[in-house]
Structure 1
């Protein structure tokens, strides 16, 4: 994305307008992208973090038109908190990704989660929200988070892929909520679709989505192979694998890299290929 102006609506196609939130970081790239769908009445996908300037930019673009739904791909703090203020301003329901059940919240939540995310309605895989000239259909894509959902716009062949597929970076999968097995299955699910273009939560639109998804599957399988080769030399803790796997990584991203390797190990363990003992992982 050569230019990433925040607060300026960019019409991507007749039914889709993008607004960039002012929250750039090593994990969010240039910031979170919110999408307004429709012309007469609207849906808003991922209104982003709590940010008064971003809220005002969205309301200015909405310009008093009815908002039928505020759709959430997942409840990370850079995607869902802005829904509450937008719902209060527009009266629209918050719809999409499921909340955590109370028993699960303590075990799964961390600082990146919007702990008070509470949708008015959860969209199951294949369910839709309909407006004037547009339809948004839920495509369950767990992996990045257990409740991640993408939204398909069949009128144009677009898919709003959230953080499941992004053109600028591979997706972070952090246990215990992130699950590598689910993530890989969700990528395979997208390979079976014929979406024309992806509009992700961060970064440029993906104009050759199946090619990118194929590459992401290959990348993750390559990481699996790396891990198995490294463990062939003997048991190692997760931290000891990182220097060989991420030689030139930005130090700020090391926690994400550690989580990703752990996610791979847990998936390999579930498949009976590795095991853990005394904090170290070994091949079986």
Structure 2
């Protein structure tokens, strides 16, 4: 078994309702529940009066309307995007049309990819998003009584940013760290080596709470992040064990490693295993039997 993670799936949320989380933070959850989005995408409103909206979510008129209801009588000055998956940024154009606010993010979809692989990702990306203002690692976005500091945390996706809300010492963690589930890391835009480095980067940071892109808050983040790292390392031990009796394909490994997981999730699991395998091939622990690394290759222990 992989190392346990203290997941929290207690998230009794009403889509479209604005929840007061703290003096500077509110949340509106989009009505897009799924196996991969849990109860829906969390949109955060930062500040009072002149506010930032973080992750407008998917292109759903009801979510845009809910955000606008939540900020009625206020001015949206910034629209901030953690990353460009289709459940986070496609709602940007409708919110821009309604508010005129500028958009902020690390860059277009694919910005930050370290290495090109000879296969495509089946996961959807928002190819239309182009931030008005590019926010680099360590960059700040300042508003009326609030400050967001960006942390470039690639892995789940190459242009992923987390944001520290400095005044409250909390982290808007996007899909990098969530309380309800592990994060999907799907190559080629997802990168397990990057993801592990981004997890390491959170160790020792001072934020007391993480507010993620899906599900409830992570209330005790440091042990949680350590559990994520241990879990991922154990997955790589499992991969090596699967290959100890000879070469195998990824689907063969998934059937063994995820025997206790519904088959409906095996496709996503296969992408995660691929991400681990590419990391292990790169550092010399695994080898390809013939040809190039990819989802259809046969692998063996080096």
Which category describes the TM-score, using the shorter chain as reference length? over 0.9
Matches within 5 A, 1:27-176: 27-100=36-109, 110-176=122-188
1 CA distance for matches of 2:268 and 2:110? 25
Uncovered stretches (5+) of structure 1, i.e. residues with no partner: none
Uncovered stretches (5+) of structure 2, i.e. residues with no partner: 1-9, 291-296
Q: Is 2:225 the counterpart of 1:216? A: no
Aligned length: 283
Relative to structure 1, is the Cα distance of residues 101 and 164 closer, same or farther in structure 2, using a 3 angstrom cutoff?
closer
Contact 1:26/1:252 (<8 A) preserved: no
SS at match of 1:174: coil
1 CA distance for matches of 2:122 and 2:61? 24
Normalised TM-score (structure 2): 0.90
Matches within 5 A, 1:157-236: 157-236=169-248
Deviations 1:83-131 (A, max 9, x none): 11101110111101311469x8997664521121111111101111111
Measure how far apart 1:251 and its partner are. 2.2
2 CA distance for matches of 1:101 and 1:165? 20
Deviating beyond 6 angstroms after TM superposition, the runs of 4 or more aligned structure 1 residues are 104-107
Contact 1:37/1:43 (<8 A) preserved: yes
Relative to structure 1, is the Cα distance of residues 265 and 280 closer, same or farther in structure 2, using a 3 angstrom cutoff?
same
Relative to structure 1, is the Cα distance of residues 223 and 123 closer, same or farther in structure 2, using a 3 angstrom cutoff?
same
Measure how far apart 1:183 and its partner are. 0.1
Deviations 1:183-224 (A, max 9, x none): 000000011311110000001100001111000000000001
Measure how far apart 1:56 and its partner are. 0.6
Contact 2:106/2:135 (<8 A) preserved: yes
1 CA distance for matches of 2:99 and 2:119? 34
SS at match of 1:161: strand
Cα root mean square deviation, aligned: 1.7
Normalised TM-score (structure 1): 0.96
